[in-house]
Amino acid sequence: MVRSGHAWTVVCGAMAAMSCLRPARADDPMDAYNVVWETPGPDSSASMPIGNGHIGLNVWAEPGGDLLMLVGKTDSWSENGRLLKLGRIRVAMSPNPLAKGLPFRQTLRLRQGEIEVLGGKDARAVRTLVWVDANHPVVRIEATGQEPFDVTVKLEVWRTAPRELKDKEVHSAYSMAGGPDPIVVRPDTVLDDQPDRIVWYHRNETSCWPATMRLQGLEAFMRQSRDPLLHRTFGAAIRGHGLVKVDLATLKSERPAKKFAISACPLTSRTADAREWLKALDQRISAVDKLDLKASRQAHRKWWNDFWNRSWIRVTSTDKSLDPTTKPLPNRIGAHEAKRVSQRYALQRFISACAGRGAFPPKFNGSIFNYDARVPTETYDADYRRWGGCYWFQNTRLIYWPMLASGDFDTMRPLFNLFRDALPLAKARVKRYFGHDGAMFPETMTFWGAYANSNYGWDRKGKDVSHVDNRYIRWYWSGQLELIAIMLDYYAFTQDPQFAETTLLPIAEAVIRFTDEHYRRDDRGKILFQPAQALETWHEAVNPLPEIAGLRFCLPRLLALGENLTTSEQRRVWQRMLSELPPLPMRQAGGQDVLAAAEKLIGPISNSENPELYAVFPFRLFGVGKPDLDMARHTFGLRRVKGNQGWRQDDTQAAFLGLADQAAKHLTDRLSDKYLAGRFPVFWGPNFDWIPDQDHGSNAIMTLQTMLLQTDGKTIHLLPAWPAAWDVSFKLHAPMNTTIQAKVSQGQVTSLDVQPVHRAQDVVHHDLKSPPPAR
């Protein structure tokens, strides 16, 4: 990614004393995946992401020479249930090293977890380092030059007065759309009594929670819970040594200096009043002030170094016949395309980590890196995102599946915590709506566990409390079975009994109980899934495949947890339910049996999903090394909808079926530039959702991993869907705390290291010269 040129010889020569680049090591393969821009701006669509799992920045330089940062957070929920930005920070320097016509370079340095901006020339060159401390809740901006310069730091807020959302912008408050009351954005507060620092916050003095709970018939639950939005206060303080207050939202250097260190300390808290929040902020700042900056930077870089050493995939090619303009072929890959695949794999994993350790899961529709909307009919501020603040499980799940093979288990916990915390409400809803036990999580869910009001329905006249207006999600309950599947895999990988006892089993037991008690049995004694639906595509169905496949996949694995984790009563119920499941729905196509979306489909087609392939992924009943592989492949070949953008998962399912060429073709197309919306190489979208589309990139990660490695119980399938002409080195994780590190060259495994060593006996090697055999 490093480009040569006389201008940069001048800049780096002038900055040599400050160790302008300081690579981790001369031969670090991660350096090839760094993102380097040699021109600024023009706006936030040309921003780079950086974060620590809780706090995220979009960083860019304007052509006029200022450095800007949008500040996001995983828990900055507004009174309307929107996930807001905290604000925008503008940094200006004088003399301006980023002025038009001067050398410029902005680099995302992945190994170090930081953004470096170099500008100016000769002795007036300035190096600015932007990073979000991986171990502490603080944003760091360090500017260094050989000659003294001045710095001005400004806070920019756009929520300055009450404003009603109208027209398409209402979509960013999706849950409240169509309600009886206007949706009003409330202003932020910038404090005027804070010497030598800028302090601002957004405080929820109102909340949509009570109206939501009353609308959905959950008044009784309100008495035993606390409003999660009311008095939620989020903001930050900006300060720096040698900076003095100029006005309400501006700091300026007291005198020119060769070095400035600026810090922004964000905080979200629910407090009785703003003074209490400010007191908590002061305590946080006091803790940050005790940190040694150099030691913090070293610890931060160590965190990111350890992160990149957990796992990797590096596709390479020595095929010189394929130049950058050559369209890639499924069984061949040129050096340019190999680097694109590897870099974008790393960058998507990076984005997930930057937003993955917060109080709540990253949003599928932009994460915490959405920026000022500039889609032709949607030109709104950086708080906007299609589909608003609710979590669609169909979308959210795709961020999390690939974290297993990456070994990024710490970034999976916010998902599990979200559903664990919502479990009491999910149980109360089932009792209120249906009069039986168990738990039910809706497909579109607020972070505290309620339906989106716009889906539940505002007009309740003549409707039962359990009635959901939106037919796309009315009986869409298979997502909670997939949640159990993800948690079962997490336990298989980590072997963490505390997680099983406190999270997996309470949720699984309640969800399975809901299924057991909610559906009646037919005249054969089998569970009759009716009323039901097949994902969002068929709004009415009898015995849809996702429900049946989900239970056939999860129940045996729950039973396999054994006596140390489960009770005899749980095992009795689960075994009985397994015997009461109807068979997977099948149909005839060209004289052959193939999987069907449901036993019976009713009504028109309403979306573009393939429910029958849920038996391949996410519920892995069919695939490499399993029976009826030919039948599953034939089902895949006959799928009604074909596509590999956004949340569509053809490439992942092809990999699970051992279809190497198809998986490779879909993957390289998914990672091409045609799906990009922003300048950053993985700012995909909008596709079906918003920018950056987290499903699009996460599906790519999942596909590449699945091409290399698949697991089934103790068995590890090595290279089950890998093109013979693709060279690769990788390190991935497998169940039972196992790692597999290997190199493949010209269709041969040239090195293999399995840890612990005894797990090597469980590895099944697949011949790259021919596809995995069907059974």
pLDDT at 25: 58
List pLDDT tens digits, range 56-77: 999 999 998 899 999 999 999 9
What is the number of alpha carbons within 13 Å of residue 493 lying toward its C-beta? 24
Closest CA to 264 of 140, 358, 116: 140
Structure tokens of 27?
């031969």
Q: How far apart are CA 481 and CA 251, in angstroms?
A: 52
Contact 89, 264 (CB under 8 A): yes
Binned at pLDDT 50, 70 and 90, residue 293 comes out as very high
Please state, in angstroms and rounded to a whole number, the distance separating the CA atoms of residues 294 and 281: 23
Q: What is the pLDDT of residue 331?
A: 66
- What pLDDT, in 10s, does the model give residues 532-552? 999 999 999 999 999 999 999
242-262 b/e (C-beta count within 10 Å ≥ 16 → b): bbebeeebbbbbeeebeebbb
Cα distances from 724 to residues 95, 199, 750, 774, in angstroms, run 55, 57, 13, 19
763-768: Cβ within 8 A, 24+ apart:
763/716, 763/718, 764/625, 764/715, 764/716, 764/717, 764/718, 765/718, 765/719, 766/624, 766/658, 766/717, 766/718, 766/719, 766/720, 766/722, 768/660, 768/719, 768/722, 768/723, 768/724, 768/744
Q: What is the pLDDT of residues 78-103, one digit of tens each?
A: 999 999 999 999 999 999 999 999 99
| Rounded CA separation 463/474 (Å) | 13
- pLDDT above 70 for 772: no
**pLDDT reading at 292 higher than 90:** yes
Over 90: is that where the pLDDT of 678 sits? yes
Backbone dihedral angles phi then psi of residue 770, each to the nearest 5 degrees: -145, 150
- Which helix (H) or strand (E) segment holds residue 588: the answer is strand 586-589
DSSP 501: I
Per-residue HEC secondary structure of 135-171 comes to: CCCCEEEEEEEEEEEEEEEEEECCCCCCEECCHHHHH
Token pair belonging to 774: 């069907």
Q: Tell me what pLDDT residue 317 has.
A: 86
The reported pLDDT for the residue numbered 771 is 57
* 679-728: pLDDT as tens digits: 999 999 999 999 999 999 999 999 999 999 999 999 999 999 999 999 99
At 77 the pLDDT is: 98
Pairing of strands 139-156, 126-132: antiparallel
Q: Model-level pTM?
A: 0.95
Q: State the helix-helix crossing angle for 505-518 and 568-580, rounded to 10 degrees.
A: 40
ω before 756 within 30° of 0 (cis)? yes
The CA dihedral of 270, 274, 275, 279, to the nearest 10 degrees, is 50
Half-sphere CA count of 533, side-chain side, radius 13 A: 22
Q: What is the pLDDT of residue 353?
A: 98
The pLDDT assigned to 23 comes to: 42
Can you give the pLDDT at residue 26? 59
In 3D space, the residue among 603, 606, 552 whose CA is nearest the CA of residue 577 turns out to be 552
pLDDT at 47 over 60: yes
Residues in the chain: 775
How far apart (Å, rounded) are the C-alpha atoms in residues 57 and 215? 36
Q: Using an 8 Å Cβ cutoff, are 155 and 266 in contact?
A: no
User: 418's torsion region: left (phi>0), alpha (psi -120 to 50) or beta?
Assistant: alpha
761 DSSP assignment: G
Give the per-residue pLDDT at 320: 58
% of the chain with per-residue pLDDT over 70:
94
> What are the start-end ranges of the H helices in 145-273?
209-215, 219-222
Q: What Cα–Cα distance (Å) separates residue 288 from each residue in 137, 139, 282, 639?
A: 8, 10, 10, 55
Q: Is 63 helix (H, G, I), strand (E, B) or coil?
A: coil
pLDDT digits (tens, 9 = 90+) for 150-188: 999 999 999 999 999 999 999 999 999 999 999 999 999
Give the whole-angstrom CA distance, residue 174 versus residue 295.
Answer: 44
Question: What average pLDDT score do residues 495-509 get?
Answer: 98
357 in Cβ contact with 414 (< 8 Å): yes
List pLDDT tens digits, range 11-29.
544 454 444 434 445 589 9
| Phi, psi for 214 (deg, rounded to 5) | -65, -45
At residue 399, the pLDDT reads 98
**Overall average pLDDT of the 638-651 stretch:** 97
Mean pLDDT along residues 455-471: 98
- With pLDDT > 90 as the criterion, what percentage of the chain qualifies? 91
Mean pLDDT score, 416-430: 98
**Residue 706, both tokens:** 């699945």
Report the DSSP pairing between strands 198-203 and 232-240. Answer: antiparallel
Q: What is the pLDDT of residue 332?
A: 79
Question: How far apart are alpha carbons 563 and 529 in whole angstroms?
Answer: 30
Mind spelling out the 3-state secondary structure of 546-570? HHHHHHHHHHHHHHCCCCCCCCHHH
Tell me if 603 sits within 8 A of 589, measured CB to CB. Answer: no
Per-residue model confidence (pLDDT) at position 326: 52
What does residue 565 show for φ and ψ, rounded to 5 degrees?
-115, -25
Q: What value does the mean pLDDT of the chain take?
A: 94
Give yes or no for a contact between 715 and 762, defined as CB atoms under 8 angstroms apart.
Answer: yes
Whether the predicted pLDDT of 523 surpasses 70: yes
How does DSSP classify residue 309?
H
Q: Which helix (H) or strand (E) holds 116?
A: strand 114-119
Contact, 394 vs 443, CB < 8 A? yes
- Is 765 a residue whose pLDDT tops 60? yes
According to DSSP, residue 425 is labeled H
